[in-house]
Amino acid sequence: MSLLDVRGLTAGYGAVPVVRDVGLSVERGELVALLGANGAGKTTTLLAISGLVGLQAGEITLDGRPVTALTPARRARAGIQHVPEDRSLFPSLTVDETIRLACRTRRAPGWVLDLFPALERLGGRRVAALSGGEQQMLALARALCRDPSLLVVDEMSLGLAPLVVNAFFPVLRRVAAERGCGVLIVEQHVHVALRWVDRVHVMAGGTVAASGTVEEMRPRIDELAGAYLGPS
Ligand code: ATP
């Protein structure tokens, strides 16, 4: 039984679905990337998994339990944490206040501080004064404070320097290995994704066009890039 199992997911913003019959899975301790050109439906798929976009059809299970009927808040309590593309931080709060709101304790758990030691140094700093990389770190830390079984991260590397992005992936690998957390990310940089993740699902035109392990996909990447991923 997979940690996350998505079958026949059809969802959108109005009567016409944006994603159709999407099937994907994430195992415990696994890093999975959702790839695809702009508009392929990656963000919509993540939002549907978290409950932020309504399903028109399909079934989503977490640890074998259906979550399709649950509100976003109840899905979060069930173990799904979503880091959205815009990170959804409050600019006027400090780092410590952001963590306190999420954790309902004064400090982040030790294992989160261990992953992100800079959190302590930046504790009194307002979100608005953080760099893009620091904001992404805070968004990830806030989600991890709730000890999710599934972490969903949309466009983690958006607007970040490659050096910064390359620092986050090992952290996600540790989260997967040490916490047994499943991680589902949308990543625009195909080659970055292939370096760090275990498996990829390639989306095109609102559905999953190809899926496989990195070993299976690497030899096909030029073909897939030409067919589905658009200019990179
Ligand atoms: P990108 O990399 O550009 O974010 P994506 O693969 O994440 O692309 P989605 O954001 O899921 O794709 O968008 C898929 C389709 O849904 C696009 O055609 C987009 O215009 C449409 N769409 C996205 N958000 C909305 C919305 N709030 N209301 C209506 N249509 C939307």
What pLDDT band is residue 213 in, cutting at 50, 70 and 90?
Answer: very high
What pLDDT band is residue 230 in, cutting at 50, 70 and 90?
Answer: low
Nearest CA to ligand 1 atom 3: 38
The verdict on the CB of residue 40 being under 6 Å from ligand 1 is yes
Q: Mention every residue, 6+ apart, whose C-beta is less than 8 A from residue 34.
A: 24, 42, 45, 46, 184, 185, 186, 187, 200, 201, 203
How far, in Å, from the CA of 216 to the mean position of ligand 1? 28
Phi and psi, residue 55, nearest 5°: -85, 140
Give just the sign of the alpha carbon dihedral 185, 186, 189, 193: positive
Helices (runs of H) and strands (runs of E) counted in the chain: 10, 10
User: SS3 for 211?
Assistant: strand
The verdict on the CB of residue 38 being under 6 Å from ligand 1 is yes
pLDDT of residue 231: 52
pLDDT of residue 8: 98
Mean pLDDT, rounded, for 26-45: 95
pLDDT at residue 118 tops 60: yes
Specify whether the CB–CB gap between 210 and 224 falls below 8 A: yes
What pLDDT band is residue 145 in, cutting at 50, 70 and 90?
Answer: very high
Ligand 1 atom nearest to CA at 188: 2
What pLDDT band is residue 232 in, cutting at 50, 70 and 90?
Answer: very low
Residue in the structure block whose two tokens are 């904001």 = 135
Pocket test for ligand 1, best of 16, 42, 85, 207 (most atoms within 8 A of CB): 42
CA-CA distances (angstroms) from residue 119 to 6, 56, 99, 172, 225?
34, 40, 9, 16, 37
Distance separating alpha carbons of residues 183 and 196, to the nearest angstrom: 12
How far, in Å, from the CA of 18 to the mean position of ligand 1? 7
Q: Which domains does the chain have, with CATH numbers?
A: 2-79+148-229 (3.40.50.300), 87-147 (no CATH)
pLDDT digits (tens, 9 = 90+) for 68-116: 999 999 999 999 999 998 888 999 999 999 999 988 777 889 999 999 9
pLDDT digits (tens, 9 = 90+) for 3-15: 999 999 999 998 8
